[in-house]
Amino acid sequence: MALKLFHFRKLASLLKTLIKVSLCFSPVVQAEIYIHQGPNGERMISDRPVQGYVLLTKRDTFANAGHILANRPIDAGGPAEFKVHIRNASKKYMVDPALIEAIIQVESSFRSDAVSRSGATGLMQLMPGTAQDLDVLDRYNPRENIHGGVRYISELMERFNNNMTLVIAAYNAGPGAVERHNGIPPKAETQRYVKKVMKAYHDFRMVRYGAQ
């Protein structure tokens, strides 16, 4: 028992050191971190898939890696904390908070650990390249994700002259697709996405912000 405890403490100390080193020296662009589970239940971190191990999750940084390795729950905050980030980002980038909430609702259902099949991650489902452009280091971090996503919405607002439906379509399909089609792309997924976000937007405006 004492030997196991020693090994666990040694592992925890090593992990803490790795996290500190990563935070001090990590560049803006960094490889994803893979966390696996082995056939005997052991967990490990690597910078690539490992044959014979089951991939549990991928992360952008070492943040919360210790919790995942020890199979402890991660407290990423909740709606109240998210609302503070939404309000602050809304003021900073001059974006309607109801629109921010609507996009989060449709993108991730307010789940900060949501990951799509295409690799979009976090509350506002940022892709790796988009996150890099927006200086978001950790897409799983609610504050970073929200501020990055809202900054992107602000850029789209400027690009599409504050046309909300085009901005929403561009958030889903990309601004290039909207410009090529000179409007909302005909793709069924994007058409449904715009309708869902617009409905959520009007609902949030009435329920949360008292708009008529």
**Statement to judge: residues 65 and 84 lie in one domain:** no
Q: Flag whether 74 is in a domain.
A: no
- The domain containing residue 34 runs over which residues? 2-69
**Statement to judge: residues 45 and 136 lie in one domain:** no
The whole-angstrom separation of Cα 34 and Cα 66 is 13
**Statement to judge: residues 53 and 104 lie in one domain:** no
Domain count, the chain: 2
Q: What pLDDT was estimated at residue 34?
A: 67
Give the pairing type, strands 33-37 and 54-59. Answer: antiparallel
Q: What pLDDT was estimated at residue 201?
A: 96
Cα distance from N-terminal residue to C-terminal residue, the chain = 64
Q: Flag whether 152 is in a domain.
A: yes
Q: Flag whether 141 is in a domain.
A: yes
User: Which pairs count as long-range contacts for 42-47, CB under 8 Å and 24+ apart, including other chains?
Assistant: 43/68, 43/69, 43/71, 44/69, 45/69
What number of CA atoms fall less than 13 Å from residue 140's CA on the CB side? 17
Q: Flag whether 189 is in a domain.
A: yes
One digit per residue, the tens of pLDDT, for the chain of length 212 reads: 444 444 445 555 545 544 444 444 343 445 576 676 777 666 666 767 777 767 656 565 665 555 455 555 545 555 677 999 999 999 999 999 999 999 999 999 999 888 888 889 999 999 999 999 999 988 988 999 999 999 999 999 999 999 999 999 999 999 999 999 999 999 999 999 999 999 999 999 988 877 65
Quote the pTM value: 0.69
Examine the fold and report which residue of 39, 69, 99 is the final residue of a domain before the chain moves on. Answer: 69
Catalytically annotated residues: 107
